[in-house]
């Protein structure tokens, strides 16, 4: 559900959103367009992108971020951007004693290396042109708690939070802010993959004081805020979007 925000908060900003075909990325594109941004939506599935372009008027890039250098080249070809939302992410559910090194590396490639590589492309261009900008990394509460069967995912998101802080320190002096949003279980196709078994989801849900899982719109609104000037002094932080899970 997209709700309107102060009109035109992001007017005049051109923003790249990765993983825009489904879930949080899809809702984020809707929200940023509603807030006045010109959006380029990047995802893997061209049919998802075609539907989103028709609905919102966004531009699209059909790219697989697992192919890092072709993806970076495609994004370089779509410059300039004022904002980057590194939302695309994958998970792999394996007990830690059986975690495959190859699968672990695949998860790190999409969840951690791709955000770094795209930040190099987008922020490198901003620095070269002397322009301000903002990066939002979509991390997870998994960055700071241990979840069974999520070794690769938890490690990839903890590394993304660390990367967020380093980007903030190095790019802040250039007027480029970097923050992360860290949702709990969110009702998306990925959320269904990991949490559709009530035996797993019920104990997690019982730990959330607000009493529900996250909705994509809860995350999209925060991303829009972090991209805009109301967040001008926020840099290098990771914001839990978890209904109080981590403080309960």
| 19 sits near ligand NAP (criterion: CB under 6 A) | yes
| 154 sits near ligand NAP (criterion: CB under 6 A) | no
Catalytic residues: 153, 157
For the bound state, the minimum distance from the C-beta of residue 214 to ligand NAP, rounded and expressed in Å, comes to: 7
What DSSP designation does 112 have? I
The helix-helix angle for 68-77 and 114-129 (nearest 10°) equals 30
For the bound state, the minimum distance from the C-beta of residue 56 to ligand NAP, rounded and expressed in Å, comes to: 15
Q: In sequence order, which residues have a C-beta less than 8 Å from that of residue 187 and are 6 or more positions away? A: 213, 214, 215, 216
Q: Is 134 helix (H, G, I), strand (E, B) or coil?
A: strand
Q: How many residues at the interface with ligand NAP, by CB under 6 A?
A: 28
Hey, CA dihedral for 40, 1, 88, 155, is it positive or negative?
positive
Kindly tell me which residue out of 57, 124, 189, 244 binds ligand NAP, with binding defined by CB under 6 A: 189
Q: Which stretch binds ligand NAP (CB under 6 A): 93-101, 143-151, 169-177, 184-192?
A: 184-192
Kindly tell me which residue out of 99, 140, 178, 179 binds ligand NAP, with binding defined by CB under 6 A: 140
For the bound state, the minimum distance from the C-beta of residue 168 to ligand NAP, rounded and expressed in Å, comes to: 19
**Alpha carbons 140 and 241: distance in angstroms, whole number:** 8
Kindly tell me which residue out of 5, 10, 23, 222 binds ligand NAP, with binding defined by CB under 6 A: 23
For the bound state, the minimum distance from the C-beta of residue 14 to ligand NAP, rounded and expressed in Å, comes to: 19
Is 16 buried (19+), middle (13-18) or exposed (0-12) by CB count in 10 A? buried
Residues 33-92 within binding reach of ligand NAP (CB under 6 A): 43-45, 48, 63-66, 87-90
Q: How far is CA 182 from CA 6, 223, 233, 239, in A?
A: 24, 11, 19, 6
Neighbours of 193 (CB within 10 A): 12
Q: Which residues bind ligand NAP (CB under 6 A)?
A: 19, 21-25, 43-45, 48, 63-66, 87-90, 110, 138, 140, 183, 185-186, 188-191
């Amino acid at each position: 559900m997209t709700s309107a925000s102060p009109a035109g908060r992001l007017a005049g900003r051109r923003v790249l959103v990765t993983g825009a075909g489904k879930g949080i990325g899809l809702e984020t594109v809707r929200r940023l367009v509603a807030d006045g941004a010109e959006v380029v939506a990047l995802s893997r599935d061209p049919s998802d992108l075609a539907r989103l372009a028709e609905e919102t008027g966004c531009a699209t890039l059909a790219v697989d971020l697992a192919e890092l250098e072709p993806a970076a080249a495609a994004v370089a070809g779509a410059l300039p951007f004022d904002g980057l939302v590194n939302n695309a992410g994958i998970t792999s559910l394996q007990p830690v004693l059986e975690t495959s090194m190859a699968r672990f590396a695949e998860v790190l490639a999409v969840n951690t290396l791709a955000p770094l590589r795209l930040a190099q492309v987008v922020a490198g261009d901003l620095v070269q042109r002397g322009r301000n900008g903002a990066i939002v990394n979509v991390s997870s509460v998994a960055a700071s708690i241990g979840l069974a069967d999520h070794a690769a995912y938890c490690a990839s998101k903890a590394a993304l939070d660390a990367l967020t802080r380093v980007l903030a320190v190095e790019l802040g002096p250039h007027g480029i802010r970097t923050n992360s949003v860290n949702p709990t279980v969110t009702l998306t196709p990925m959320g269904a993959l990991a949490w559709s078994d009530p035996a797993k989801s019920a104990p997690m849900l019982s730990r959330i004081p607000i009493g529900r899982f996250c909705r994509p719109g809860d995350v999209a609104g925060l991303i829009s805020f972090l991209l805009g000037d109301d967040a001008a002094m926020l840099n290098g932080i990771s914001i839990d979007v978890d209904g109080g899970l981590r403080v309960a």
